[in-house]
């Protein structure tokens, strides 16, 4: 049963610290998405990769957030320095084929709390 995995599942950190979240997309999937979910804003797209190349990161605060895909099996989202307003659940999702038509498969999320 292929699944998207995310680590860590929970992270509590102090303001100013660096946070790294990792995602392993489903093997063979060529698109990876990072979303942030909060009660106030709902689901927001942060970044979108296709074949490891960033296609859209317009939803990401550039001064503190960065997203990369070092290889096809790993996507990372970093926040440096973290702030309390970054507290949210961060989801990674992957997909294959034609992105327009196909569904995304979501990981379980990383719940981030910045004190």
Partner 1 sequence: AQSVAQPEDQVNVAEGNPLTVKCTYSVSGNPYLFWYVQYPNRGLQFLLKYITGDNLVKGSYGFEAEFNKSQTSFHLKKPSALVSDSALYFCAVRDGGSQGNLIFGKGTKLSVKP
**What are the structure tokens assigned to 78, written together?**
């970093």
Closest approach of partner 1 to the CB of residue 25, in Å: 13
Q: Residue 57, SS3?
A: coil
Q: How far apart are CA 71 and CA 63, in angstroms?
A: 24
- Using CB under 8 A as the binding rule, whether residue 25 contacts partner 1 is answered as no
**Measured from the CB atom, is 42 or 70 closer to partner 1?**
42
Check residue 106 for interaction with partner 1 (CB under 8 A): yes
Q: Which two tokens stand for residue 102?
A: 């196909």
Cβ atoms < 10 Å from Cβ of 101: 7
Cβ-based burial of 22 (10 A; exposed 0-12, middle 13-18, buried ≥19): middle
- Our finding on whether 46 is near partner 1 (CB under 8 A) is no
**What's the CA gap between 20 and 79, in Å, rounded?**
7
Task: Tell me: does residue 23 bind partner 1 (CB under 8 A).
Answer: no
Show the site string, 70-99: x = touches partner 1 by CB under 8 A, - = not: ---------------------x-x----xx
- Which of 31, 46, 94, 112 touches partner 1 by CB under 8 A? 31
Q: Which residues of the shown chain bind partner 1 in the complex (CB under 8 A)?
A: 4, 31, 33, 42-43, 45, 48, 50, 55-56, 91, 93, 98-101, 103-109
């Amino acid at each position: 049963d292929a699944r998207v995995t995310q680590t860590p599942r929970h992270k509590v950190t102090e303001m100013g610290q660096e946070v790294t979240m990792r995602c392993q997309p489903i093997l063979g999937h060529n698109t990876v998405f990072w979303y942030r979910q909060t009660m106030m804003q709902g689901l927001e797209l942060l970044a979108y990769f296709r074949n490891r190349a960033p296609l859209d990161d317009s939803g990401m605060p550039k001064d503190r957030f960065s997203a990369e895909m070092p290889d096809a099996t790993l996507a990372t989202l970093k926040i440096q320095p973290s702030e309390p307003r970054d507290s949210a659940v961060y989801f990674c999702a992957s997909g294959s084929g034609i992105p327009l038509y196909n569904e995304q498969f979501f990981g379980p999320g990383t719940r981030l709390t910045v004190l």
